[in-house]
Amino acid sequence: MGENIEELLKKIPVGGVSTPAQRGLPLRTGLWRTLKPVIDKDACRRCGTCWMYCPDDAIKKTEEGFYEVDYEYCKGCGVCSEECPFGAIKMVREE
């Protein structure tokens, strides 16, 4: 504490749009969702595009090479679905 806004702004890296995800209670955004991404493993080509574009680091690679969503940290923004070149991720209504 004690830093003013100018000092804080100087610490932001130039060109940075997001900070690396840090696991912890304050960043659990899963309760925000109204839609959630569901990955169709049959359509997935394991390209990693969803992982690269996820702004919350909520997509992880499994030991089998597939990708899965960590719903505790996924806020349902839909970026992964929009960027998937194979249409393997569909946004579905959260129940």
Q: Which two tokens stand for residue 46?
A: 């394991």
**pTM for the model:** 0.69
Q: Where are the alpha helices (DSSP H) in the chain?
A: 5-10, 49-53, 79-83
Gap between the Cα atoms of 50 and 69, Å rounded: 10
User: For residue range 16-72, what is the model confidence (pLDDT) as tens digits?
Assistant: 455 555 544 456 776 778 999 999 999 999 999 999 999 988 999 999 999 999 998
Q: Is 42 left (phi over 0), alpha (psi -120 to 50) or beta?
A: alpha
CATH fold for the domain made of 21-93: Alpha-Beta Plaits (3.30.70)
- What is the domain partition of the chain in residue ranges? 21-93
Cβ–Cβ under 8 Å, residues 72 and 24: no
